[in-house]
Amino acid sequence: MRNILFIFTLLMSVTASAQQDIVWTTPSANSEASMPCGGGDIGMNVWVENGDLLIYVARSGSFNEQNAMLKAGRLRIRTIPVILDAKDFRQQLHLDDGYLTIQANRDGRTLRCRIWADVEQPVVHVDLNGNKGFKVEAAYESWRYYDKVVPAREHFGNSYKWTAPKEEIYRRDSIEFDGNTVQFVHHNQGRTIFDVTVAQQGLDSVKHLLYDPLRNLASGGLFEGSGFVPAGLRDGVYAGTRYRSWVLYTPKTAASHRLKLTLHYAQTADIPAWRMGLDSLNAIAADARRSADRSARWWRDFWQRSHISIAPKGSDSLPWRVARNYRLFRYMLGCNARGDWPTKFNGGLFTVDPVHINNLTLTPDFRNWGGGLHTMQNQRLLYYPMIRTGDWDLMQSQFRFYQRILPTAELRSRIYWGHEGACFTEQMENFGLPNYAEYGTKRPARAIPGVEYNAWLEYQWDSALEFCLMMLEEAAYTGRDIRDRVPFILSVLRFFDEHYRREAGSRGIKELDGSGKLIIYPGSAAETFKMAHNPSSTIAGLQVITSRLLAEQMAGLDTTQQRWLQVLRSRIPEIPFRTINGHIAIAPAQSWERINNTESPQLYPVFPWSIFGLGRPGLDTALATWHHDTSVIKFRSHIGWKQDNIWAARLGLTTEAWRLTALKLEDGGRRFPAFWGPGFDWVPDHNHGGSGMIGLQEMLLQTDGRRILLFPAWPKDMDVSFRLHAPGNTVIDAELRGGQVTKLVVKPVERTSDVECLIPVRDGRN
């Protein structure tokens, strides 16, 4: 009987998951109506248009000389006779196993295509099977087959933005038939944006010490199919961009055909050496069946870690769509689990032709706000939700990103200011320096070396503190030994200590104020409250990171480190407050000179820093900030990187938390529901999805030290089930039905006493 119940439960779980698969019964009009698919560090946009199967392929880490993130290319696959333009059509994203199928029936012919990316190797597989024999034309298409003068607007997709030299060129790829395959590669040569940026920022004397991911970077791959031979070249135009096709075809009719795209990048001056690496990968990835099986297993394990289901009967209500889109976005994040590079906030691996986004006739490589450029306040929103889902493997690429550029950040501090500590800026290149355009190409003589000459970004150093928090959370949640992360965290803290003591000493005799505290000026409360004195967001971050690091046993601090942290903690200022209409509220800063953006950093002590919130002292102060601060009210929104939904949940404002989170996670207006945006950035807007995920999680589960609060901001009349993670290797499985908690399983069981459920639990629960 126990086995029967287990099988029944498993089948019900599979059925509920399958209800969240995306299924289309008609082909698409264009790439905007594509479906994402991926794995490892590869993302694909897949759609059928006019009888052709089309696939954009992207792999993280493929950067050109200007630091644009290049797509690997576009595949166009057509059967002979054409079958995919049939009225009997079905395209399905199989979320449980991480693959995509397309089926069509026409005139007695049936075709089934299966598409997936290997989770362990950078390889795309396309299998085509029919009930009768057919032939196939499979083309590799590229818009980078010639040297192209880059239009001014397209430079916003690289690191030049509005400052590119006239007649700047995107160099062509090398593309050719090689036997019965198509080989393609973009090989960075000559002067890159790294070289230009180093010279601009006065660092040529230490250039040999700086990390350079662009020099001699070769990114490309090999497209082939069993039984396919070259059929020649063709030229065309798609979405306003001209392209060239290298066409393969099958001279023989067969009921089954297989295609494979193998990708590889490496920094080498020697293309034959790059090709040897590509051939090695291609040989390893030869077994398509084994690839499909291991990839499906990885995805099943991924979904077992965590889930949220609302109204799981699949009524297509708003609550059901919110949970479905939460799952779809988590899938998109999972497609870069094995990447060397973080998922980008401005589209991830799934950008499409910009003509469909805002009528820009630019190449498919375009995304607004750069390819190798990272806006860190946006990036963090992609990675916070992975804490509650237990997706620590996905977070490692972002951690490695910071650790690779740590020496550069430390060198900046020594060169510009003569002190220690890592200076990480807000808009930061993949090589660790401020963006060329944002640093300022028309810097006046009074501009301070090392500081971005930019109204939004000057003196904004905070974001690295949030990634320190994530590293500490990994220790708290998993028990990971983080001694390898401690040098990074200490260096980030040291920058604030030494830099602001230096700043104060340059203005007067004393490095600290009359109370022995740091004077954080000039500072910046996010991008909004500029030239700030003691911004609350900075102070909260410094308070939390020093306290958490001192308390973290897995940090392995020595006595010297502990003493230094204790001294630093003693001189961090207190969070500033102000009175608004008789209510004490958190102030953005002690003072500021101007407001430049529309963020509410006065609520950062609520999230991400967890100083104020449910069950914590000062909740009334945080609520007063939410209700009475005029800028908080004015800036409130659900668009893009806005995080009001998260603050509402942290403050126990159930109605507002649901309203704003539902607005974020509602269908995005494109055929694939989780293609949100552009918002402030691009499509798909990943920081929009990430902040939506965080808000939904915080409505269901919050933590305060050992305390675990369940349903702290959840509507009692909305049925839900979830599995989320908490500190101490704790996993919570809970279910709410009819206003009562009908299931509550806590693992390990000894953590049960730490759980405080804010909705009644039905007697006899699990």
Amino acid at 235: D
Token output for 258: 């297989």
Same domain, 197 and 51: yes
- How many angstroms separate the CA atoms of 710 and 693, rounded? 17
Cβ burial, residue 584 (10 Å; 0-12/13-18/19+): middle
Torsion of CA 528, 529, 534, 536, to 10 degrees: -50
- How many angstroms separate the CA atoms of 451 and 340, rounded? 28
Same domain, 468 and 563: yes
- How many angstroms separate the CA atoms of 429 and 425, rounded? 9
Is there a domain that residue 90 lies in?
yes
Q: Pick from 592, 615, 632: which residue ends a domain?
A: 592
The gap from C-alpha 673 to its chain's centroid, in whole angstroms, comes to: 17
Token output for 12: 């019900």
Contact 74, 46 (CB under 8 A): no
Token output for 573: 């200022």
Question: Average pLDDT, whole number, for the chain?
Answer: 95
Same domain, 392 and 299: no
Residue 13 has pLDDT above 90, yes or no: no
Is there a domain that residue 62 lies in?
yes
Is there a domain that residue 692 lies in?
no
Mean pLDDT of 270-286: 93
- How many angstroms separate the CA atoms of 39 and 269, rounded? 29
The three-class DSSP label of residue 372 is coil
Contact 309, 321 (CB under 8 A): no
Number of other residues whose CB lies within 10 A of the CB of residue 132: 14
CATH number of the domain within which 56 lies: 2.70.98.50
Q: Which helix (H) or strand (E) holds 525?
A: strand 523-525
Residue 283 has pLDDT above 50, yes or no: yes
Same domain, 125 and 260: yes
Is there a domain that residue 677 lies in?
no
Rg of the chain's alpha carbons, rounded to an integer?
27
pLDDT of residue 10: 42
Is there a domain that residue 347 lies in?
no
Same domain, 524 and 429: yes
Same domain, 33 and 158: yes
Same domain, 272 and 408: no
Residue 12 has pLDDT above 50, yes or no: no
Is there a domain that residue 254 lies in?
yes
Is there a domain that residue 674 lies in?
no
Among positive and negative, which fits the CA dihedral 622, 626, 629, 635? Answer: positive
Task: Tell me phi and psi for residue 737, to 5 degrees.
Answer: -135, 130
Mean pLDDT of 549-568: 97
Contact 525, 536 (CB under 8 A): yes
Is there a domain that residue 600 lies in?
no
Name the band, by pLDDT with cuts 50, 70 and 90, for residue 20.
Answer: confident
pLDDT of residue 311: 86
Mean pLDDT of 27-48: 98
pLDDT of residue 430: 98
pLDDT of residue 5: 37
The candidate with the shortest Cα–Cα distance to 476, out of 646, 705, 635, is: 705
Q: What is the extent of the structural domain holding 241?
A: 2-305
20 vs 58, 209, 308, 332, CA distance in Å?
Answer: 25, 50, 12, 14
pLDDT in tens, 681-713: 999 999 999 999 999 999 999 999 999 999 999
Residue with tokens 């949100």: 676
Tally of domains within the chain: 2
pLDDT of residue 763: 60
Cβ burial, residue 223 (10 Å; 0-12/13-18/19+): buried
Q: Which positions ≥6 away from 406 have C-beta within 8 Å?
A: 422, 432, 487, 488, 491
Mean pLDDT of 728-738: 97
Residue with tokens 């012919």: 109
Name the band, by pLDDT with cuts 50, 70 and 90, for residue 8.
Answer: very low
The candidate with the shortest Cα–Cα distance to 229, out of 276, 274, 182, is: 182
Same domain, 295 and 389: no
Mean pLDDT of 500-514: 97
Q: Pick from 547, 570, 592: which residue ends a domain?
A: 592
Contact 536, 632 (CB under 8 A): no
Contact 346, 681 (CB under 8 A): yes
Number of other residues whose CB lies within 10 A of the CB of residue 561: 16
Same domain, 289 and 175: yes
pLDDT in tens, 91-101: 999 999 999 99
The three-class DSSP label of residue 27 is coil
Same domain, 406 and 538: yes
Same domain, 268 and 174: yes
Report long-range pairs for 477-484 (Cβ below 8 Å, ≥24 apart).
477/387, 477/390, 477/392, 477/725, 477/726, 477/727, 477/728, 477/729, 478/392, 478/729, 479/554, 479/728, 479/729, 480/392, 480/554, 481/554, 481/556, 482/552, 482/554, 482/555, 483/554, 483/555, 483/556
- How many angstroms separate the CA atoms of 70 and 59, rounded? 8
Same domain, 11 and 98: yes
Q: Pick from 592, 626, 657: which residue ends a domain?
A: 592
